[in-house]
A and B are shown apart, each in its own frame.
Chain A
Amino acid sequence: MTSLWKEDFCVIIELTRETVALIALVICLFFILFQYIFLLSLSHKQDARKKRREEASNTINEYLESIIFAPTEFAKDSVIDALAGYVGEDKLKMGILSSRAVELLLSDDTDDRQKAALVKVLEKANPMQFYKKMLHNGNRYEKAYACRKVAFFYEEDEIPYIRKLAKSKNRILAYNAAMALSVFGDEESVADIICGFENNYHYSFRIIHELLDVYSGDISSLGRRILENCGDYIRATVIKKLADYKLDEFEDIYIKGLLSNNVNLKIACVQALGKIGKPEYEHQLITAAHDKNWVVRSTAVKQLKYNTDRTKEALVKATSDPEWWVRFNAAKTLVGIDTELKYVEKVLQGYDRYGADAVKYMLYRKYSLS
């Protein structure tokens, strides 16, 4: 009996195995068929999409050309109506039209009459309304896209809604909303957003620089607001960017920052003072060139571009620094400012081989020596 059951059991296992294998095979074959059909349909869809994009781009370019070079106002208006009808509410066509029209508007080759025609096109096609609709009704990616477009067309009515989007947990949406608010010049919101990055090291500091770059309001007022309310990390990051604007109203903050224990803040302040470049900062920068931190020294020697003997002496000394980057940057700056090569020669004839090597390298890079 037991052996009969064993035999039956083996037969059942065998049948089950066979059935499972057959079912698996059938499923696989159907899946392959499904994949093949899906692949072909996807590839045709992508082909059609590419073709559609090319067609839309060519058609819109033709329309715009006809509008720009239309012989009469009536002809121009007819073509504008036709273009607006062609674009309709299509996202792809609207995107192509708005970017192409703006590109032509900003081009130096477009004269005033043509620019007026392009403005008329934008009024008729009304991309602003289209993007406003997308901002409120689209998915998060469409909202993010619409944020930038709405900011580009300066639809200030949407600022309150975009402020809400800037608080979104979705980083893409929050980032694009933040950029939009910056374009609008919304000082309070931008300052809050930037100060909020203090505890969020997720974003690189370059994001903060991008926000400040596109800011359309009073940058010194924004800077003051942020510097009064933020911690050292944001302060250092913002000062690094404010340095490009060479605002001497923050002079006191920069000089105070040189005494800070925070290395990043010190570096940012050294950069800022160097970019402003007033003669009275020379002493501070030469002092920074002797800082115990090599990054501070390296930054200071990069900024020491004063054409004075004191600066050149300091740079000559820095070419003997134990840290390679300090030597490298000191040599670069020295070769840049010492046009008579008096101090350069001093380094070349000195005993420090490493300093001499750095200076020689810069000379070869700058002048076509062989």
Chain B
Amino acid sequence: MGYTLLLNLIYLIQIMVSYSKIGRNFKRRSVDDYIDYVDSENLPPISLIVPARNEQENIVDNIHALLKLDYPEFELIVVNDGSTDQTHEKIVNAFELHKIEYTIKVSLPTKPIRGVYHNPEYPNLIYVEKDNGGKSDALNAGINMSVYPLFVCLDADSRLERDSVLKLATEFIKDSKTVVAGGLVRIANGSVIRDGEWRSFKIPDKAVEKFQIIEYFRAFLAGRVSWGLTNSLLIVSGAFGVFRKQTVIDCGGYKTNTVGEDMEIVVNIHENMRKAKQKYRVVFCEDAVCWTQGPMSLKDLRTQRRRWQIGLLDSLLQHKKMILNPSYGMVGMLSVPYSWLFEVFGAPIEVLGYFIIPLSLFLGELSLYYFFLYFILAVSLGIIISLGGLILEQKIHFGRMTAKQCRQLANYAFLENFGYRQCITLFRVEGMLKYRKLRRTWGIIKRKEFDR
């Protein structure tokens, strides 16, 4: 019970800190001239790297949408990581690409590249076909291929808003110490996506998708905003993040021996930059939005959450020397111990509680009265945190969600604590128990073509 109280108290503090920060950011954005940068030559040119494996449903639409981005100078590098479906054929045919002779600066080792394709009618687009090596390997290949100082890592099913990249790139202008900038990922399930572009938000039909929407608000808007303030953010979503290319190369690129490459690269950057005693910033910009498809079934959700937990454990184990190590500053003293205590051990402690408390009740150690009292208290705390996430969303994103949609989701913020959160906890524990077995496995998650 004490553990639950402490965890929820920390979440509450994060929500309050985030609320204040988001409010200040909102005022700052009202005077921001980032939109003037659209035509500016001073914006750093950027490489968009899209690793893709078996993405035949959405890949062509996504490429079309990305080519329309509001950004003065960029290149789009699509890396086909040994797809076994029609991904390759669809891309080549849709854009009439031809195989070309290429030169590539190999800064990071990768699996062999089978070919590079290009069509001068799409001068920004480079398509790379390579042997399967995993998402990290595909990203490294994209980095090798890129010629610009910044790169964006994107998922093949991500849908960026037109000015999302612009908003993140201006973080690198406003402060030259910025090395990583993460954006907000939102669940696109149910939303209207037309011509590969997100148009309007709609609540999906399935409960599992609705719960994920609330969960993402909580995780991103409460957690990441507050960690970003202390420059100890340990993860930037693999679906949408901007990196300074040379920093990533200096850290050895994305590690291919993990399924949590998004967390691993950021923790690695923290470690390397602090070791080298270089000033740097890892920021989170809640206004730069990327829409992505969440798992549509409990089975797919289980695969995803198991993998996330394995990735988390992997990254923390690989950097275990950072725990409570003052030479790593706030990262070592605060966010890494927090991740161990609450993100890693939180799930098994909670699951233990599922057994111990009913057992205590059964053995007469705990009275029925206290059982219900603590149960309602635990659930109430969970509801407070879930509603907090929704409040933060409404604070920043006016117009994306109507009041009616917000009311509907608020009901699910209540219901989330009666089954969904418990399932997620069990999936996370499963991930930890199967850590050794599934350490290198991504699993298959069913994708749906976005509604047009």
Residues of A within 8 A of B (CB): 18, 21-22, 24-25, 28-29, 31-32, 35-36, 38-40, 42-44, 46-47, 49-50, 139, 141-142, 144-145, 148, 172, 176, 179, 201-207, 209-210, 213, 244, 324-325, 327-328, 331, 354, 357-358, 360-361, 363-370
CB distance B101 to A50 under 8 Å?
A: no
The answer, yes or no, to whether B355 is at the interface (CB within 8 Å) is: no
CB-CB under 8 A from B403, the residues of chain A are: 40, 43-44, 46-47
Q: Which of B224-232, B372-380, B442-450 lies at the binding interface?
A: B372-380
> How far does the Cβ of B196 sit from chain A's closest Cβ, in whole Å?
25
* Cα-based distance from A75 to B120 in the complex (angstroms): 54
CB-CB under 8 A from B174, the residues of chain A are: 203-204, 207
CB distance B407 to A43 under 8 Å?
A: yes
CB distance B373 to A39 under 8 Å?
A: no
CB distance A361 to B120 under 8 Å?
A: no
Residue of A with least CB distance to B27? A141
A172 CB contact (under 8 Å) in B31, B172, B376:
B31
A32 CB contact (under 8 Å) in B98, B147, B383, B406:
B383
* Cα-based distance from A36 to B190 in the complex (angstroms): 24
A46 CB contact (under 8 Å) in B98, B101, B176, B398:
B398
Q: Which of B38-46, B52-60, B254-262, B268-276 lies at the binding interface?
A: B38-46
CB distance A144 to B176 under 8 Å?
A: no
In this complex, the interface size class of chain B, counting residues with CB under 8 Å from chain A, is 35 or more
The answer, yes or no, to whether B202 is at the interface (CB within 8 Å) is: no
Identify 13 new A-B residue pairs, CB closer than 8 A, beyond the known A21-B377, A172-B28, A176-B31. A18-B370, A32-B384, A35-B387, A43-B401, A46-B403, A139-B27, A145-B30, A172-B31, A176-B33, A203-B174, A207-B173, A328-B105, A368-B120
The answer, yes or no, to whether B93 is at the interface (CB within 8 Å) is: no
> How far does the Cβ of A348 sit from chain B's closest Cβ, in whole Å?
10
CB distance A40 to B407 under 8 Å?
A: yes
CB distance B391 to A28 under 8 Å?
A: no
* Cα-based distance from A40 to B409 in the complex (angstroms): 11
* Cα-based distance from A32 to B173 in the complex (angstroms): 41
CB under 8 Å from chain A, chain B span 171-230 = 172-177
In the complex with contacts A39-B391, A43-B394, A28-B101 CB distance below 8 A: no
CB distance B176 to A213 under 8 Å?
A: no
CB-CB under 8 A from B332, the residues of chain A are: none
CB distance A40 to B102 under 8 Å?
A: no
CB distance B373 to A25 under 8 Å?
A: yes
Residue of B with least CB distance to A327? B103
B402 CB contact (under 8 Å) in A47, A179, A210:
A47
> How far does the Cβ of A219 sit from chain B's closest Cβ, in whole Å?
15
CB distance A22 to B373 under 8 Å?
A: yes
A28 CB contact (under 8 Å) in B27, B41, B172, B377:
B377
CB distance B374 to A21 under 8 Å?
A: yes
> How far does the Cβ of B122 sit from chain A's closest Cβ, in whole Å?
11
* Cα-based distance from A160 to B59 in the complex (angstroms): 55
> How far does the Cβ of B201 sit from chain A's closest Cβ, in whole Å?
12
> How far does the Cβ of B121 sit from chain A's closest Cβ, in whole Å?
8
> How far does the Cβ of A28 sit from chain B's closest Cβ, in whole Å?
4
* Cα-based distance from A210 to B174 in the complex (angstroms): 11
> How far does the Cβ of A84 sit from chain B's closest Cβ, in whole Å?
24
* Cα-based distance from A141 to B27 in the complex (angstroms): 6
The answer, yes or no, to whether B438 is at the interface (CB within 8 Å) is: no
CB-CB under 8 A from B175, the residues of chain A are: 202-204
The answer, yes or no, to whether B419 is at the interface (CB within 8 Å) is: no
> How far does the Cβ of A212 sit from chain B's closest Cβ, in whole Å?
9
In the complex with contacts A324-B105, A364-B101, A40-B406 CB distance below 8 A: yes
* Cα-based distance from A366 to B101 in the complex (angstroms): 12
A206 CB contact (under 8 Å) in B173, B370, B377, B391:
B173
The answer, yes or no, to whether B399 is at the interface (CB within 8 Å) is: yes
In the complex with contacts A204-B175, A209-B42, A39-B105 CB distance below 8 A: no
Q: What are 27 A-B pairs at a CB distance below 8 A?
A: A18-B373, A21-B370, A21-B374, A21-B377, A25-B377, A25-B380, A28-B384, A35-B391, A39-B390, A39-B406, A40-B407, A42-B391, A43-B401, A43-B402, A43-B407, A47-B403, A141-B28, A201-B176, A202-B175, A204-B173, A204-B176, A206-B43, A206-B44, A207-B174, A324-B105, A361-B103, A368-B119
CB-CB under 8 A from A40, the residues of chain B are: 403, 406-407, 410
Closest 8 pairs between A and B when the two form their complex, measured CB to CB: A364-B100, A370-B98, A28-B380, A360-B101, A46-B398, A43-B406, A43-B403, A204-B176
In the complex with contacts A141-B27, A203-B176, A42-B395 CB distance below 8 A: yes
* Cα-based distance from A186 to B398 in the complex (angstroms): 38
* Cα-based distance from A244 to B41 in the complex (angstroms): 11
CB distance A365 to B42 under 8 Å?
A: no
CB distance A366 to B42 under 8 Å?
A: no
* Cα-based distance from A244 to B381 in the complex (angstroms): 59
* Cα-based distance from A205 to B43 in the complex (angstroms): 11
CB under 8 Å from chain A, chain B span 373-426 = 373-374, 376-377, 380-381, 383-384, 387-388, 390-391, 394-395, 398-399, 401-403, 406-407, 410
The answer, yes or no, to whether B99 is at the interface (CB within 8 Å) is: yes
* Cα-based distance from A28 to B103 in the complex (angstroms): 62
CB distance A206 to B42 under 8 Å?
A: yes
B100 CB contact (under 8 Å) in A207, A331, A354, A365:
A365
The answer, yes or no, to whether B159 is at the interface (CB within 8 Å) is: no
Residue of B with least CB distance to A173? B31
CB-CB under 8 A from A28, the residues of chain B are: 377, 380-381, 384
CB-CB under 8 A from A361, the residues of chain B are: 100-103
Residue of B with least CB distance to A241? B42
The answer, yes or no, to whether B245 is at the interface (CB within 8 Å) is: no
The answer, yes or no, to whether B439 is at the interface (CB within 8 Å) is: no
* Cα-based distance from A306 to B402 in the complex (angstroms): 60
CB distance A32 to B380 under 8 Å?
A: yes
CB distance B402 to A328 under 8 Å?
A: no
* Cα-based distance from A43 to B390 in the complex (angstroms): 10
CB distance B103 to A204 under 8 Å?
A: no
> How far does the Cβ of B31 sit from chain A's closest Cβ, in whole Å?
4
A367 CB contact (under 8 Å) in B120, B172, B381, B406:
B120
CB-CB under 8 A from A24, the residues of chain B are: 377
CB distance B40 to A210 under 8 Å?
A: yes
CB under 8 Å from chain A, chain B span 88-141 = 98-103, 105, 118-121, 123
CB-CB under 8 A from B384, the residues of chain A are: 28, 31-32, 35
> How far does the Cβ of B6 sit from chain A's closest Cβ, in whole Å?
13
CB distance A144 to B42 under 8 Å?
A: no
In the complex with contacts A205-B176, A213-B40, A328-B103, A39-B98 CB distance below 8 A: no
